[in-house]
Amino acid sequence: MPVSGTTAIIALGATGLGLQVAGQYQVGQAAEAQAKSQREWHEYNALLSEREAAEARDVAAKEETRFRKGGERLKATQRARFAKTGVTTEGSPEAFLEEQAIEIEEDALMIRRGGQLAGQRLTAEAGLQRMAGRSALLRGKASLRASRWGMASTGLSGAAGLGYQYGTMTGAFP
């Protein structure tokens, strides 16, 4: 049975409609896949930031310990020098040693605080990375929903248009 011109035109229109619907489906799937990939990337960055935060705290704690030990050695050396020269540690030498002890403690606390601040900054960065990942995932899901609505809309309006075209070509509609 030969294919009439009307049938061929309707078949081509239906094929085009099918391709449009399939294309919208693929766009939605690609958006969702990209969003999942972005979320995974943000999670990786968050884990990296958390690791760096822990490392910053550890390094600062070790540096603080090293600094305190160095300070204790310095104080012991100065006490020994005072004793060697016959100077008692009362009065001015005692005030000097106390001032030095205070400075050493303040510097050690600043080292600790620097590590804490770096750790807090990196931990906050990890939280922001996770939020960005969740946001990307939500955008991907929204794009997928939009593509599904677009598929439905294209399918319905395309089917209506094909029906009208068929009716016009066959004389069913005046």
pLDDT mean over 18-30: 89
Contacts for 147 with CB less than 8 Å, ≥ 6 apart: 24, 25, 27, 28, 29, 31
What's the number of domains the chain is made of? 1
**For position 170, what pLDDT does the model report?**
81
pLDDT band at 2 (very low <50, low <70, confident <90, very high): low
Q: Which residues 6+ apart lie within 8 Å of 50 measured at CB?
A: 122, 123, 126
Which pLDDT tens digit goes with each residue over 58-111? 999 999 999 999 999 998 998 888 888 887 767 788 888 889 999 999 999 999
At residue 29, does pLDDT exceed 70? yes
For position 108, what pLDDT does the model report?
94
Average of per-residue pLDDT across 28-40? 91
Domain around 128: 5-170
